Amino acid sequence: MSKYLIVGLGNIGKEYEHTRHNIGFDVADALCKELNGTFDLGRLAVYAKASFKGKQLHIIKPTTYMNLSGKAIKYWMTELKIPVENIFVIVDDLALPFGQLRVRGKGSDAGHNGLKSIQEELMTQEYPRLKFGIGNDFPKGKQVEFVLGKWNPNQEIELQERIVVGVEIVKAFCVTGLANTMNLFNNK
C-alpha cells in the first residue's frame, strides 16, 4: 500500500486558528474529517492516519510553529519511511490571489519561513506542494499582521468552497500523482 505524508502548515495556539497563515491546518482538518481520521498528539506534530482508494495517508500539522515546520516533516518522513516525492505540503501563498490553488513539484521558499525550514531540513526545493492563495491586500509594512490576520467576511463564504477543492487536490495527488494533479487543477 502506497504511503503519503500530507502536511498542513500553520501555527499552534488559539490566536492563530483560522488565520490566513493557518490555511494548511484548515485543509488538513477538512481532509482528516472527510476520511474519518482523528488527530492525536505525536512527536513534533498532531498526527492522523486515514486511507483513501487503497492509499495510506499520514496527515500531520506540525506543533513546532511555522518557522520549524521542516523538523516535524523530516521526523515523520523518516519515522514512516516515506520518500520526498510522496509528501504533499499545504501552504499559504501571498503571491497568489485569494482562493487560487496551485500545485507545484518544486520551487523556492519565496520568503515563506515554513518552506525555508522544509528546504533546510530536506536539503532540496523539490517536494510537492499545494499553494493556497491568500492575496496581498495589505498596506506597506503590514505583511505580518495580514498573514496572521483572520479572513474578511466576504472571503469566509468562498473560503469553505476553496478548502473543499484543496481536499480534492490532496486526494488526486495521492491517487493519480503530481503531473496529473497539476494538469487537472492548475488551469482552473
Of 64, 72, 53, nearest to 12 (Cα)?
Answer: 64
Q: Give catalytic residues, as residue numbers.
A: 21
Sign for the pseudo-dihedral over CA of 93, 97, 103, 108: negative
pLDDT at residue 167 in the model: 98
Separation of alpha carbons 42 and 48, rounded Å: 9
For position 132, which CATH number holds? 3.40.50.1470
Q: Considering its fold, how many domains does the chain have in total?
A: 1
Sequential pLDDT tens for the chain (188 residues): 799 999 999 999 999 999 999 999 999 999 999 999 999 999 999 999 999 999 999 999 999 999 999 999 999 999 999 999 999 999 999 999 999 999 999 999 999 999 999 999 999 999 999 999 999 989 999 999 999 999 999 899 899 999 999 999 999 999 999 999 999 999 76
Tell me what pLDDT residue 187 has.
75
Residue 7 lies in domain = 3-185
Give the list of residues 6+ apart from residue 188 with CB closer than 8 angstroms, or none. Answer: 101
**pLDDT number for residue 164:** 97
Among 75, 56, 88, smallest CA distance to 167 is for 88
Q: pTM above the 0.85 mark?
A: yes
Burial (0-12, 13-18, 19+ Cβ within 10 Å), 12: middle
